[in-house]
């Protein structure tokens, strides 16, 4: 771990290791935004052909809008903090910093949490029960094919720093 350095903001960054470094990627199964958008598309098609709705109460759509805004805010906050730390957001690109500030103080996966909350909000806004059907397997794929791989990768890259972080901060909330 001699190639770790601490920034003034308290983030841990990797020092340059040269061209002999292994590929710096957790090897996720799917790009998470594609997973969420694909689920929305499949659910939307199911809803279009076999509509199923919640009872038509106005508060359902209002709650959906509030959830969508809250989730979007978490995603933007997490993205902003990652960019400020100088790391990549896309999981197939090199991890340049371990981020534990901003929303990462409360959840290890603020972007995935935020996107999930936006998804549920859209389900309520559109009053489309079928949107939830592909969402469940999408969450399973996200958990096992993305998050677990990312966490294993971060443990290997940042060692005790990441392991200590995992003991302090929950995966979701």
Q: What pTM value is reported for the model?
A: 0.85
Identify which of 106, 115, 108 has the alpha carbon closest to the alpha carbon of residue 158: 108
* Residue-by-residue pLDDT tens, the chain, 173 positions: 444 445 445 555 544 443 443 467 788 999 999 999 999 999 999 999 999 998 878 899 999 999 999 999 999 999 999 999 999 999 888 889 999 999 999 999 999 999 999 999 999 999 999 999 999 999 999 999 999 999 999 999 999 999 999 999 999 98
Which residues neighbour 24 within 8 Å (Cβ) at sequence distance 6 or greater?
93, 94, 95, 157
Q: What six digits make up the tokens of 90?
A: 């896309």
Map out the domains of the chain as residue ranges: 57-168
Q: What is the crossing angle of helices 148-158 and 160-168, to 10°?
A: 130
Report d(CA 74, CA 79) in Å as an integer.
8
Residue 17 pLDDT: 41
């Amino acid at each position: 771990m001699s190639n770790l350095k601490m920034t003034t903001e308290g983030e841990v960054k990797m020092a340059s290791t040269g061209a002999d470094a292994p590929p710096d990627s957790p090897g996720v199964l799917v790009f998470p935004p594609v997973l969420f958008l694909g689920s929305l598309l499949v659910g939307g098609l199911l809803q279009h052909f076999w509509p199923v709705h919640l009872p038509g109460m106005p508060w359902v759509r209002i709650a959906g809008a509030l959830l969508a805004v809250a989730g979007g805010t978490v995603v933007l906050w997490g993205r902003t903090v990652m960019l400020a730390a100088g790391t990549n957001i896309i999981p197939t690109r090199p991890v340049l910093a371990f981020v534990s500030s901003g929303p990462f103080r409360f959840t290890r996966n603020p972007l995935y949490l935020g996107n999930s909350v936006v998804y549920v909000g859209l389900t309520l806004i559109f009053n489309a029960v079928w949107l939830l059907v592909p969402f469940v397997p999408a969450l399973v794929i996200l958990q096992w094919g993305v998050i677990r791989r990312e966490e294993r990768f971060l443990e290997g890259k940042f060692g005790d720093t990441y392991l200590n972080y995992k003991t302090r901060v929950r995966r979701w909330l």
